[in-house]
Amino acid sequence: MNSRREPRDPAAYKRDRRQAVLRHHPDAGGDPEELFRALEEVDRRHGVAGPGRTEHGPTAEQVAAVAVTALAGVAAVGLSVAMSFLGRRR
């Protein structure tokens, strides 16, 4: 289920999101929580935020995306370790 809508002004939306990321991104010394709040504010201002978004935490879609990414990482590490052991047996 997709809770996002198209922005009213795509160019302004893209510009505002880019500015928020440049200002608050952790790689540039920003705070991750402040980045999420800034991006949610941009989404709200541009009418993109859907009914599934809340101020109290991540949506189920965000949690699922993080879980899938983590599982993929664990699987990749496991496969790497397995291949390393198999390579040593020969």
> How wide is the angle at C-alpha 23 spanned by C-alphas 18 and 25, nearest 5°?
85
Rg (CA), the chain: 19
CA dihedral 28, 34, 39, 45 (to 10 degrees): -130
What pLDDT was estimated at residue 66?
87
Where do the domains of the chain lie? 1-55, 58-90
Measure the CA–CA gap between 31 and 43, rounded to whole angstroms: 18
Torsions phi, psi for 37 (to 5 deg): -65, -40
For the chain, 90 residues long, give each residue's pLDDT as a single digit of tens: 455 678 888 899 999 999 999 998 888 888 888 988 999 999 989 988 755 555 567 777 888 888 899 999 999 999 999 898 888 765
What pLDDT was estimated at residue 49?
74
What pLDDT was estimated at residue 48?
86
What pLDDT was estimated at residue 50?
59
